[in-house]
Structures are given as C-alpha cells and as structure tokens.
Amino acid sequence: MGGFDDYKPVLAMFGLQFTYAGLALFARASLVQGLSPRVFVVYRQAAATLFISPVAFLWRRQLVAGLHISHWKRLLLVDLADSAVITLLLEQDPEAWKLQSKLGIASVLYAGIVGSGISFFVQSWCISQRGPLFSAMFNPLGTVIVTILAAIFLHEEIYTGSLAGAIGVVAGLYLVLWGKAKDPVEINGETEPKIRIDCAHTVKLSVDGLSPEKLSSIKCDLSEPLLSDTSADKANPV
C-alpha cells in the first residue's frame, strides 16, 4: 500500500461526514415541512432494507462480506418492525403517513440508501483498513460541517457561544481520542521493562542467598521435568 492508496480511507471518511451532514439537513428540512419524525424513521428503515437486501443476496456466497451484510440486514428488519409497530400505535392519523412533497420523498430515499446503506459499506471498509479508532476520529468533524452547511443552505444564524462550544467539543473529543491512541504505546514502552527488571531482580536475590553447592543442585533440578516418573509414583502410591 502506497501513494494515493494511503489517503483513500481519509478521503472516504471525509466524504462520509459530508454524507451525514447532508442527512441531517435533509431530515431537518422535511421535518420543518410537517413530516412526522416517527414516520420518517419507518420510511428510512424501509428504504435501507430494500437497498441492503439485494446486495446481501448477491454477496451471500462470499464468506466474510455475505455474513456481515446479512447480519446488518437482519438488524434493519428488526428495527423496521419495531419502529413500524410503535408508529402505528402513536400515529393513527392516515395523513401523517403521506409524503406530501418531493423533498420528503428525497429525504427518505437519501436517508435510507445513502445514510444507512452506502455509509455502512464505506465505514466498514475504512474500519477494516485502519481500525475503529481511525473511524471515530472523524465523527466530530460532522458537527462542524453541519453547522457551516446549515448556515449556508438553511440560513441559520451562528452565535459566538455556539461556535465556541462546537470548537470546544471537537477539540475535547480529539484530545480524548489522541490520548486513547497513545495508551498502547505507553504501556508497551513502560510496563514491559519494569516487568523484566523485577524478574531479574527477584532471580538475583534468590541466587545471592544460596551457596554454590545448593546452586549447583538447583541447576540439576531445573534440567529435569517438573513432573518426573519418580515424583508421580510417590504422589500416587499403589
């Protein structure tokens, strides 16, 4: 792996954060027009299931990818059933289930196909290439992107306090993730030498307290197996 291939996971995660930002803006706009949040979730799960199911069927013969996608499809089916039952109990007005505008239809399709389907493949690939910590490091970037795009397209005002809070949250999350990434290095660099020093010190103390005659007998004993036939006969007399 080298050259441009090294930057593919980075570019993929950047694109994924813009995808999530678009999902947030689409959902916000459709909910403002009157779409029920519960109905939106049901339609999103349905669109995602319809998108994932053919892919899982086509890839079912591939061991790793097929099992992974099939598991994700089952989760989507369970979520779809749960959300549909709850929404049917709470949203008894038939008008609430109608998508009144093209924006509502587009937001549902985008949320299901792109926000739940394609993003699943992209994030799974990035995690397989760089690990889960690498994927999590880009999540705070989505907050900044949503704030900027909301100000541009939805004409939302950005206040100084909100901007400072967003910067503080992003900085704090990156600091925590950076510290988590440093933990294995510190453990490998500090703990193991101490263990080796302690072990060497213990051996040295035990050897200094013995006479050469006893030390030679211990060497002879160490050359023998821990459970010899003689010791086994003594422990289990017939």
Q: How many residues does the chain have?
A: 238
For position 79, what pLDDT does the model report? 87
All residues at 6 or more sequence positions from 143 whose CB lies less than 8 Å from its CB, including other chains: 166, 169, 170
Question: Which pairs count as long-range contacts for 50-59, CB under 8 Å and 24+ apart, including other chains?
Answer: 50/112, 51/112, 51/113, 51/116, 51/117, 52/76, 52/116, 52/117, 52/120, 55/117
pTM of the model: 0.66
For position 169, what pLDDT does the model report? 74
User: What is the token pair recorded at 168?
Assistant: 């503080």
For position 110, what pLDDT does the model report? 94
Q: What is the mean pLDDT of each run of 10 residues along the chain (238 residues)?
A: 74 91 90 90 91 76 57 82 91 86 92 90 87 82 84 83 78 74 52 40 43 48 47 47
pLDDT digits (tens, 9 = 90+) for 99-116: 888 999 999 999 999 998
